[in-house]
Structures are given as C-alpha cells and as structure tokens.
C-alpha cells in the first residue's frame, strides 16, 4: 500500500513539474515579440533591429514581412503582439477593436530607385508620373541610355502603393505592363537585374549596392520639401506593456533609434 501510494505521489510530482515547465514555456512565449505588418518597415529597420534588441533584453523577436493591412487582423486574432503600419489604424480597423493603438516611431521619405548603372539622376514629378503610367517608355526620354523602362510596383492593396499614388499619381493608373510585387519589400527582388524604376521606404533601399536613389525635382530623400513622405507606426491592442513596451521604447529612446537614423529615416520629435 505504501509503495502504491509512493508511486502515486511520484507521478503527481512528475505531472506537476511538467505542468510547471509548460506554464513557464507559455509565459516565455507570451513575452516574446511577434511582429506582423508593413514590409517597408521590415526592410527599413525591423529586420536589422531584431538581433540587437534580443541581445540587449533577452527577448526573442519573430518578424513577418507582410503588409500594413495585415497588422490589425494579426493583433486582433492574437497572431502577433506588435503590428507595423505605414499609416495610422483606419476607422474600419478600429471598428473591429476600439483598443487598437499606434505609436509613431519614424518619419520616412519614400525613395524612387533605379539600377546602379542607370545614368538618370533626377526626375521632375511630372516625368516620374509619366514614367510610372507608361507614357514615357524609354530611358532616353529622360536623359538615360536608350532602352525600355521596366516599371516595378507593389500591388495596389499595399500602403506603399497607396502613399506613392497619393503623392505622385493622383487619379492616374500605373502602367499596365508594370511588374507587380505582392509586398512592398518584394520590389527590390523584382527590380534586381532589370532596367527598372520602383519605390520603397528610403531605409529599405539606402544601403543596397545594386541600386541608386534618384532625386525628385532636385531633392533627395531627407531634404526639406521632398515630395513623398510617410509615417511609420508600431501598433498594439491597448497601451504597450511589458516586453512590448520595451520593444517600442527601444525605437523611441534606445539603440533602435540609432538604427532608424542610420537607415536614413527620421525619429519622431
């Protein structure tokens, strides 16, 4: 009887230990950072900041290169605890969860980029619009070597596309012959090795050796009065707390702020 009771006690202790480990593992997992959202932000500074943040805090970061529109559904469904947006949450998203909150972490100038060997250095807004619509089809029409222009764009549902369209395109449509990427970050791969022109967050392309950023109306990204500006936010459900607050503070006051500046973006004042 005593032996049987001993076995039951041992089994109980074993199960309790396993349960304790499971709870600890769940707690640790809950305290990790899982980012879903803006591809522009991912390539501008989220991806490069994950390892430094983990080294400084011991908190693991998993980041998914998606779209701004994926941030709210990811947060609401509990698939992430940090969302990335190249705009604020809109009314439709907040109608699904009134506690959606965004924190401005960077101000960005969207860069227009071409292949490194392209002779074009500067386009007017009007020239850029005509290139992107397909009205201007050859590089020789804007001061480059003769050859067809390949227009590369992120698909229309991306915030990158919408922000660029608002600043440059107006009601005009992109060239029907455009190469279309499903995400903003994908334009980099789609443009590589082509006589292409495309656009993305300056931070995502500023240090890429395969491309160069051109001026628009004589102004480069970062200059006062540059014509394609956007803001970048980290979103949460409710006020940031715990590890999530540490992560956001990393970009506002910690080493992440320097990563943002190094990428060519401006921290919020």
pLDDT at 266: 87
Residues 64, 182, single domain; the answer is yes
Residues 40, 158, single domain; the answer is yes
DSSP string, 121-132: -EE-HHHHHHHH
Phi and psi torsions of 217, nearest 5°: 55, 40
3-state secondary structure (DSSP) of residue 268: coil
Would you state the structure tokens that stand for residue 236, as one six-digit string? 């949460």
Residues 226, 142, single domain; the answer is yes
Q: Could you tell me the residue range of the domain that residue 16 belongs to?
A: 1-30
Residues 37, 26, single domain; the answer is no
Would you state the structure tokens that stand for residue 72, as one six-digit string? 């709210």
Burial class (CB in 10 A: 0-12, 13-18, 19+), 80: buried
pLDDT at 5: 45
Residues 44, 26, single domain; the answer is no
In sign, the C-alpha dihedral spanning 123, 116, 151, 69 is negative
Residues 90, 7, single domain; the answer is no
Across the 269 residues of the chain, what is the mean pLDDT of every consecutive 10-residue run?
48 43 37 94 94 96 95 97 96 97 95 97 98 98 97 95 96 97 95 97 93 97 91 96 97 94 87
3-state secondary structure (DSSP) of residue 103: strand
Would you state the structure tokens that stand for residue 25, as one six-digit string? 């593992």
CATH assignment at residue 121 = 3.40.190.290
Would you state the structure tokens that stand for residue 106, as one six-digit string? 């960077």
Residues 161, 260, single domain; the answer is yes
pLDDT at 255: 94
* Contact present, 247 and 61 (Cβ < 8 Å): yes
The count of other CB atoms within 10 Å of the CB of residue 229 is 14
Distance CA 114, CA 140 (A): 14
Distance CA 102, CA 251 (A): 14
Distance CA 265, CA 230 (A): 10
Helix (H) or strand (E) run with residue 234 in it: strand 229-237
Alpha helices in 155-254 (DSSP H): 159-164, 186-191, 202-205, 242-252
* Contact present, 167 and 73 (Cβ < 8 Å): no
pLDDT at 31: 80
Residues 13, 96, single domain; the answer is no
Tell me how many domains the chain contains. 2
Residues 14, 70, single domain; the answer is no
Burial class (CB in 10 A: 0-12, 13-18, 19+), 23: exposed
pTM over 0.95? The answer is no
């Amino acid at each position: 009887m005593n032996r049987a009771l001993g076995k039951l006690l041992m089994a109980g202790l074993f199960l309790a230990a396993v349960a304790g480990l499971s709870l600890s593992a769940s707690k640790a997992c809950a305290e990790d950072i899982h980012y879903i959202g803006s591809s522009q932000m991912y390539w501008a500074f989220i991806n490069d900041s994950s390892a430094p943040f983990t080294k400084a805090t011991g908190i693991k970061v998993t980041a998914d290169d998606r779209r701004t529109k994926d941030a709210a559904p990811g947060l609401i469904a509990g698939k992430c605890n940090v969302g990335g947006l190249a705009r604020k949450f809109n009314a439709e998203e907040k109608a699904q969860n009134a506690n959606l909150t965004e924190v401005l972490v960077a101000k960005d100038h969207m860069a227009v980029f071409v292949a490194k060997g392209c002779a074009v250095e500067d386009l007017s807004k009007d020239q850029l619009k005509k290139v992107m619509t397909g009205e201007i089809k050859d590089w020789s029409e804007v001061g480059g070597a003769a050859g067809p222009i390949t227009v590369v764009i992120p698909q229309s549902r991306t915030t990158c596309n919408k922000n660029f369209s608002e600043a440059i395109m107006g009601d005009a449509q992109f060239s029907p012959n455009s190469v279309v990427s499903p995400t903003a970050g994908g334009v980099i791969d789609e443009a590589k090795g082509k006589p292409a022109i495309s656009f993305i967050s300056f931070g995502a392309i500023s240090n890429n050796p395969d491309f160069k950023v051109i001026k628009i109306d004589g102004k480069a990204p970062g200059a006062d009065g540059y014509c394609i500006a956007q803001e970048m936010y980290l979103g949460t459900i409710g006020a940031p707390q715990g590890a999530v607050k540490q992560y956001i503070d990393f970009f506002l006051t910690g080493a992440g702020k320097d990563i943002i500046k190094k990428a060519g973006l401006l921290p919020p004042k």
